[in-house]
Structure 1
Amino acid sequence: MKESLRTSRYPNRTLEDKELIYNILDEALFCTVAYADSQVAHQIPTGFCRLGDEVFIHGSVKSHFITKLLESDEVSLSVMLFDALVLAPTAFNHSVNYRSVVLYSKAREVRDEAQKARVLSAYTDKYIPGRMCDLPQPTSEELGVTTVLALSIDKSLAKMRSGGVGVDTSKSNVWSGIVPFQTGYGAPEVDHGNSQVETPHYLNQLITRNT
């Protein structure tokens, strides 16, 4: 295991399986990106997408956050998927089932306009698959005011917990077990100025997949 990624608690839950890392990153909707500036820690929650072995975030060319990420020798990105509550017979042994990824990377600015357009299209389609079929491609002006950063997945690991309580519950009269967590989208609410446009099929599919 890469020394800087070594975990001190529950190391058996730590995995460097790249496919697992891909799957967690692709399912997660938001991440937190952290960096240090003059020995002060900063972190920002944001959206992201993955293409190959890189994670991409974006922001305004005037963003102080984006500028500081580019100036940093290394930044850290993390995501967590919450799967279930784990209720044990004692508060001490309560836990959660989860899947998470942490990565460290030097931020790289994507300067090629065609690649920027591909990344931003993939970003949109991550959240609403099929949406870019309805939309025009980003203009040169839009790309010019947007900075896209790439973070390598090479220095990353996954950590997860699954399964049940893990302690003997046979002598307890307190309910113990897991409570799965679910979340999903509600019914689309059309903008009043767009009421004549039929709800696209990809939105109906998005809702169906999340119910």
Structure 2
Amino acid sequence: MKTNLKPSRYPGRVCSEAREIYEILDEGRFCTIAYAVNEEPHQLPTGYCRLHDKVYIHGSSKSHFLHQLADVRQVCFNVMLFDGLVLAPTAFDHSVNYRSVIAYSPAKKVESMAKKREVLECFTNKYIPGRMKDLAAPSDQQLSATLVLEISLEYVSAKVRSGTVGGDLSDAEVWSGVVPAAIAYGVPEQDSSQSSTIPVPGYLTEMVVKSNSQC
């Protein structure tokens, strides 16, 4: 991992520790991938997962956009977590607390069926921890119908903004401070066509409770 990408502003917010970068990526749910084809810009919002020092995205093997990603020399991968609003006495000094990661890498097709299986199981458990133990493993036909792309974290950088407004606000005439933000899940709603005798899985209840406790 090379974290020597130079920021244009706020160098004090740069995070270069692999552990912290991985924590941001593991908590994040969605990314944006930017690339150019024939000097025309494109951008793809999608889900992802991380395994070691690589991130992975997937979709249909017939996806035009995913094949384009695999054909270009380099893509730009970005994740941002929104942690709160920072309200200051002046509009100019308002800000947000955030954590972000940006990486530059080719997007390589994963050809190995075993690696595809590992990635897709990791992907499912990222969004619903423990879910794969209830599910059948993907079939070879399903794996063949799925295109998986690998993005390296060799050239990566992260930025973090945390804390309050800063400075002495004793003379401020308007309320100032931080409004924390977090993602929360609602109560699971079972599909109406399914038998109501099937209980809500414990891992799903745990995920909902955990998310709400952070709000």
Q: Indicate conservation of the 8 Å contact 1:100/1:160, yes or no.
A: yes
The residue that corresponds to 2:205 in the other structure is 204
* Percent identity between the two aligned chains: 51
Q: Indicate conservation of the 8 Å contact 1:88/1:165, yes or no.
A: yes
The residue that corresponds to 1:116 in the other structure is 116
Cα displacement (A) at 1:57: 0.2
The residue that corresponds to 1:103 in the other structure is 103
Q: Deviations over 1:13-49 (max 9, x none)?
A: 1122111110000000000011101111111110000
Number of aligned residues: 210
TM-score, normalised relative to structure 1: 0.96
- Equivalent position amino acid for 2:38 in 1: S
SS at match of 2:172: coil
The residue that corresponds to 2:43 in the other structure is 43
Q: Indicate conservation of the 8 Å contact 1:88/1:167, yes or no.
A: no
- Mean Cα displacement is larger for which, 9-18 or 148-157? 9-18
CA separation in 2, counterparts of 1:154 and 1:144? 28
Cα displacement (A) at 1:168: 2.9
What 5-or-longer segments of structure 1 have no aligned partner?
none
Give the 4+ runs in structure 1 shifted more than 3 A: none
Matched, 1:85 2:85: yes
Q: Deviations over 1:133-180 (max 9, x none)?
A: 010000010000101011011110110101110233122111111111
CA separation in 1, counterparts of 2:3 and 2:26? 23
- Equivalent position amino acid for 1:204 in 2: T
Cα displacement (A) at 1:2: 6.0
TM-score, normalised relative to structure 2: 0.95
What 5-or-longer segments of structure 2 have no aligned partner?
none
SS at match of 1:73: coil
- Equivalent position amino acid for 1:19 in 2: R
